A and B are shown apart, each in its own frame.
Chain A
Amino acid sequence: GAVVSQHPSRVICKSGTSVKIECRSLDFQATTMFWYRQFPKQSLMLMATSNEGSKATYEQGVEKDKFLINHASLTLSTLTVTSAHPEDSSFYICSAREEGSTGELFFGEGSRLTVL
């Protein structure tokens, strides 16, 4: 199956700093990528849909100025958590859909963010 890679897998930062998480589709082109957030022992919550070459679409309640998404190429989307605070600590997972297929979503390994 197709592979989606996230980097970094773990990151620890100080409160007030910004952190960038990358999501790459390694062997296919993804016009659309999705960013999810997972709280401990809870399900995945869709944060935003990232479209190559255009602005991301954010779900209700997600601050777009806080969670900046850039999808500059067909294989890369980035999520930047700006001015991070401890409440932003979470597991962030991206997924990508392979165009022209049955639309199956492939998920990255996830990135654990800890804000001190």
Chain B
Amino acid sequence: AQSVTQPDIHITVSEGASLELRCNYSYGATPYLFWYVQSPGQGLQLLLKYFSGDTLVQGIKGFEAEFKRSQSSFNLRKPSVHWSDAAEYFCAVGAAGYSTLTFGKGTMLLVSP
């Protein structure tokens, strides 16, 4: 069975500082990997996805993520965080031809002035 681990429940970053949110997955084949962001009381917005090819993927809002097969990781990064980035971030994994996704528990990002 596939699973996703986001080890950090909360992370606080100063505005302008760099950010890295961790995600580890467990899956028996090549996974499809996603990062979503959720603002309070809102649905999910896709930040970026990895299906195949270049292991460094660029997303919206200046985010990027790197797929590392050897570490079963797909960490999300941003070089300079803005106050508007404060939200909850979910990593998710799906199978090729996936019908649904398995989500991690999420990481709440707080941005301090």
Contacts and interface: CB of A to CB of B under 8 A. Distances in A.
Interface stretch (A61-69, A72-80, A103-111): A103-111
Interface residues of B, number: 21
B100 A110 contact: no
Chain A binding surface, main DSSP class: strand
Interface of A: 1, 4, 6, 32, 34, 41-44, 46, 49, 91, 93, 95, 97, 102-110, 112
Given A41-B106, A110-B42, 15 more contacts: A1-B46, A6-B43, A34-B100, A42-B105, A42-B106, A43-B103, A43-B105, A46-B100, A49-B99, A95-B44, A104-B49, A105-B100, A107-B36, A107-B45, A112-B41
Interface of B: 32, 36, 41-46, 49, 51, 90, 97-101, 103-106, 108
